[in-house]
Amino acid sequence: MTNTAVANGSGATDPKRIFRRTESTAAGEGVNAVSRITRMCLAYPGRVAVAMIATVLAAAAQLSIPVLLGRAVDATQAIGSATADEAALRTIALTLLAVSVLRGLFTLAQNYSAESVGHALAHDLRLAVYDKIQRLPFSFHDRTHSGDLITVGMLDLEGVRMYFSTALVRTVLLTLLLGIGAYLLISTHALLGILALSFAPFAAWRSTAMQLTLRKTWLILQEKLAILSRVMEENLAGIRVVRAFSSAPHEMKKFDAASEEALALSHRRIDVRVKSTSAMTLAFFAAMGAVLLYGGTLVAEGEMSVGTLATFLTFMTILQMPVRQLGLMVNAYARASTCGARLFALLDMPVEVDDAEGAPDLKVTEGTLRLDNVAFAYQGAEGHRAVTGISFEARKGETVGIVGPPGSGKTTLMHLIPRFYDVDAGSITIDGQDIRDVTLSSVRQAVAVVQQDSFLFTTSIENNIAYGDPRATDSRIERSAGSAQLHDWVVGLPERYGTVVGERGVSLSGGQRQRLSIARTLMLEPAVLIFDDSTAAIDAGTESRIRKGLRDYAADRVTLIVAHRLSSLSHADRILFLEDGRIVEQGTHDELIALGGRYAALHELQMRPEADMMEAQP
């Protein structure tokens, strides 16, 4: 935990900054992102082609409807034989029916193929994001808020997914409708055409301005709501503190402050929307009124047929929606560019700890671990080396204890051995092979760590224990659980090994969590087994039983134990005392006590109460 505090770095590649949602994206990056998304869509040429052709045909069908309606009206006005009119009407009616059906089918094809391009893109990106997150090293995850990564993987991905259907295809559709429509109207009657289309620029501008404002305020609103939900969540989770300090009034004040800010912003968003939508409707109807007035005069004067006027009016109603939705399109572009920029920043993040080209698997023979003059500093804290000049060797069957004050680099050192981080200087070898020269996967199989804060997965106990070896047999799982002193507790549970634990399952005590974490690590049969302060919540008695149960297991591997409780290390072959990232004392327990240095002082400190107790006993 102290590592994250140290590693709070800054700089151009600081993931904290890259993934912050309110941080604006550089214009160039946004354009690049959009063009990259477009290229990715083209990986599905069939669906893209269908979507585009269907769009053109749907637009054509859409545009022919007003024309047909106008003709129908005119046909009723034609002076001549009723039979001819009836024939004309019948033809027009049937054509209109056919065109309507076709319009529906083409729209279906257009929307479905466009959405399927988006879903296919999302499918690929989901896998890519997942893979990337699993491979990015600890140094990346230390400096990134998990919440930010989740947002990138969920919301940003949605923003990219919507790009093809809501931005690109709609742009094509609107361009066709407006372009061809304007040509048709203006070529029929220039002035009336201009009047009919006069609402479009205004509506387009209002709609765009509105959507961009709404988007900006939406991002702020999300932040305000996040604050509000944090206030509520912390209050509920910490309800005992709240009650203990009788601070409900204080908490209500915090709630009201957060709530009122969010409410005020929601109101502002409503105002923005109301103002724009009402204005757009007014502009549309005003243009319609103008067309009615001027067109009506033309009809009255015999310069235009009623049918043509009807064409103008129905054309306006057809065009109204897409023009008003221009803002949504612009919003989709804006979203795709910022979301895409963040998503690609994640996907392009270099994986600093990775397999070297053609690296072979690690071959464990003797099982000897060697650290040679190892030094390491966290990113963003390069000036301060967390560990430095560390050298030691441990052979199969040996147990090495590591002790030191908080922040002395114990955990850091333990994280270098499975190559969670790469050393800055020196080397770590297993049986003479530098861990950087072999595959990462083989190193992780050879070095297993029981971590300080063990993350349990929300699944059954057996799945948790078998996490590193999903094809393990029941008997092996039970053996591991037995060694970790967990079996007796598990069999007392209603569903035994099938009981679900984790975030949404049965809640475990700190000691139970640690024992489960030990059990799952024991499944791995590693050459190097590390306990990183992972028995703090387990009582001394249980710990000593675990240790006894592991005697045979430990004979086959190197065991490294970081612990605060010195009694946990009494059986170690050697103990290293770390301070400020260096080994300052080392030797067996007895040697170190005899030395009378820091270790001995720590021992003295821990033994004091027990010493008193001895006196108290008769």
Partner 1 sequence: MSPSRTAEPADDHRDDGRPRLRAVVGSHRVDEEIFGRAFDGRVISRIWDFVGPYRRQVVISVVAVAIFTLSQLAIPLLIRHAIDNGMVGGVNLPVLYWTVAGFALVIAVNFAASWVQEGVTGRMAENVLFDIRRKMFSHLQRVSLSFMDKTEVGRLMSRLQGDVNSMQEFLETSVLSVGDILLLIGIVVAMLWLDWQLGLLVLSVLPILLIVRLFWLQRARAAFMAAHEANSITNGALAEAIHGVRAVQGMDRGRVNHGLYTGLVDDNYRAHLRASRLAQIMIPIVDSLTGIAMAVVILVGGYMVVEGRIEVGVMVAFLFYIQRFFDPIRSLTMQYSVMQRAMASGHRLTEVLDVDVDVTDAPDAVPLEREDDGSVEFDHVTFGYDPKHPVLKDVSFRVNSGETVALVGPTGSGKSSSMALIHRFYDVQGGAVRVGGRDVRDVTQASLGRHIAMVLQEPFLFTGTVRENIRYSSHWASDADVEEATRAVGAHDFVTALPQGYDTMLDERGGNLSLGQRQLLSFARALVADARILVLDEATANIDSYTEMQIQRALETLLEGRTGLVIAHRLATIRNADRIVVLQQGVKIEEGSHDQLMAAKGLYSRLYSMNYASFDDIPEELTGEDRARAT
Count the residues of the shown chain that bind partner 1, applying the rule CB under 8 A: 163
Considering only the stretches 172-180, 384-392, 496-504, 576-584, report the one whose residues sit in contact with partner 1 under the rule CB under 8 A.
Answer: 496-504
Binding mask 555-594 for partner 1 (x = CB under 8 A): ---------xx-----------------------------
Instruction: Compute the distance between CA of residue 202 and CA of residue 472 in angstroms, rounded to an integer.
Output: 68
Q: Is 226 in the site for partner 1 (CB under 8 A)?
A: no
- Between 372 and 553, CB nearer to partner 1: 553
**What residues between 519 and 538 interact with partner 1 by CB under 8 A?**
520-521, 524, 536-537
Q: Is 266 in the site for partner 1 (CB under 8 A)?
A: yes
Q: Is 598 in the site for partner 1 (CB under 8 A)?
A: no
Instruction: Compute the distance between CA of residue 533 and CA of residue 560 in angstroms, rounded to an integer.
Output: 10
- In sequence order, the 6+-apart residues with CB closer than 8 A to the CB of 255 are 228, 231, 232, 235
Contact pick of 506, 540, 555, 594 for partner 1 (by CB under 8 A): 540
- Bridge partners (DSSP) of residue 265 are none
Q: Is 134 in the site for partner 1 (CB under 8 A)?
A: yes
Cβ atoms of residues 412 and 3 within 8 Å: yes
Q: Is 183 in the site for partner 1 (CB under 8 A)?
A: no
Considering only the stretches 150-158, 168-176, 182-190, 341-349, report the one whose residues sit in contact with partner 1 under the rule CB under 8 A.
Answer: 150-158
Instruction: Compute the distance between CA of residue 403 and CA of residue 561 in angstroms, rounded to an integer.
Output: 9
In the complex, the smallest distance separating the C-beta of residue 198 from partner 1, rounded to whole angstroms, is: 15
Which tokens belong to 194? 């201009």
Q: Is 42 in the site for partner 1 (CB under 8 A)?
A: no
- Between 350 and 541, CB nearer to partner 1: 541
- Nearest to 391, CA basis, from 426, 435, 430, 436: 426
Q: Is 322 in the site for partner 1 (CB under 8 A)?
A: no
- Nearest to 367, CA basis, from 555, 571, 550: 555
Question: Tokens 């305000």 correspond to what residue?
Answer: 224
Amino acid letter, 114: A
Binding mask 103-132 for partner 1 (x = CB under 8 A): xxx-xx--xx--xx--xx-xxx-xx-xxx-
Cβ atoms of residues 533 and 564 within 8 Å: yes
**What residues between 245 and 264 interact with partner 1 by CB under 8 A?**
245-252, 255-256, 259, 262-263
Binding mask 370-399 for partner 1 (x = CB under 8 A): ------------------------------
Amino acid letter, 338: T
Half-sphere exposure in the Cβ direction for 430 (13 Å, CA): 29
Q: How many residues does the chain have?
A: 618
Contact pick of 10, 24, 35, 77 for partner 1 (by CB under 8 A): 77
Q: Is 21 in the site for partner 1 (CB under 8 A)?
A: no
Instruction: Compute the distance between CA of residue 124 and CA of residue 157 in angstroms, rounded to an integer.
Output: 10
Contact pick of 21, 32, 52, 85 for partner 1 (by CB under 8 A): 85
Chain centroid to Cα 577, Å, comes to 40
Which tokens belong to 459? 């699944």
In the complex, the smallest distance separating the C-beta of residue 28 from partner 1, rounded to whole angstroms, is: 26
Considering only the stretches 69-77, 206-214, 387-395, 569-577, report the one whose residues sit in contact with partner 1 under the rule CB under 8 A.
Answer: 69-77
**What residues between 542 and 561 interact with partner 1 by CB under 8 A?**
542
Binding mask 228-247 for partner 1 (x = CB under 8 A): -xx-xxxxxxxxxxxxxxxx
In the complex, the smallest distance separating the C-beta of residue 330 from partner 1, rounded to whole angstroms, is: 21
- In sequence order, the 6+-apart residues with CB closer than 8 A to the CB of 325 are 170, 174, 207
Contact pick of 48, 99, 173, 362 for partner 1 (by CB under 8 A): 99
With b for 16 or more beta-carbon neighbours within 10 A and e for fewer, the 138-175 pattern comes to: bbbebbbeeebbebbbebbbebbbbbbbbbbbbbbbbe
Instruction: Compute the distance between CA of residue 566 and CA of residue 585 in angstroms, rounded to an integer.
Output: 15
What is the enclosing helix (H) or strand (E) of 505?
none
DSSP codes joined into one string, 438-463: S-HHHHHHHEEEE-SSPPPPSSBHHH
Cβ atoms of residues 69 and 97 within 8 Å: no
Question: Tokens 């009402």 correspond to what residue?
Answer: 278
Q: Is 610 in the site for partner 1 (CB under 8 A)?
A: yes
Cβ atoms of residues 564 and 557 within 8 Å: no
In the complex, the smallest distance separating the C-beta of residue 181 from partner 1, rounded to whole angstroms, is: 16
Contact pick of 76, 175, 365, 373 for partner 1 (by CB under 8 A): 76
Q: Is 491 in the site for partner 1 (CB under 8 A)?
A: no
Q: Is 596 in the site for partner 1 (CB under 8 A)?
A: no
- Phi, psi for residue 426 in degrees, rounded to 5: 80, -165
In the complex, the smallest distance separating the C-beta of residue 592 from partner 1, rounded to whole angstroms, is: 15
Binding mask 416-435 for partner 1 (x = CB under 8 A): --x-x---------------
Considering only the stretches 18-26, 31-39, 382-390, 469-477, report the one whose residues sit in contact with partner 1 under the rule CB under 8 A.
Answer: 469-477
Which tokens belong to 64? 């022919």
Q: Is 87 in the site for partner 1 (CB under 8 A)?
A: no
Cβ atoms of residues 460 and 498 within 8 Å: yes
Q: Is 506 in the site for partner 1 (CB under 8 A)?
A: no
Considering only the stretches 180-188, 201-209, 356-364, 454-462, report the one whose residues sit in contact with partner 1 under the rule CB under 8 A.
Answer: 454-462
- Bridge partners (DSSP) of residue 390 are 374
Contact pick of 192, 334, 466, 481 for partner 1 (by CB under 8 A): 466
Considering only the stretches 19-27, 96-104, 196-204, 325-333, report the one whose residues sit in contact with partner 1 under the rule CB under 8 A.
Answer: 96-104
Contact pick of 194, 220, 472, 595 for partner 1 (by CB under 8 A): 472
- Nearest to 598, CA basis, from 614, 582, 610: 582
**What residues between 333 and 372 interact with partner 1 by CB under 8 A?**
none
- Between 94 and 425, CB nearer to partner 1: 94
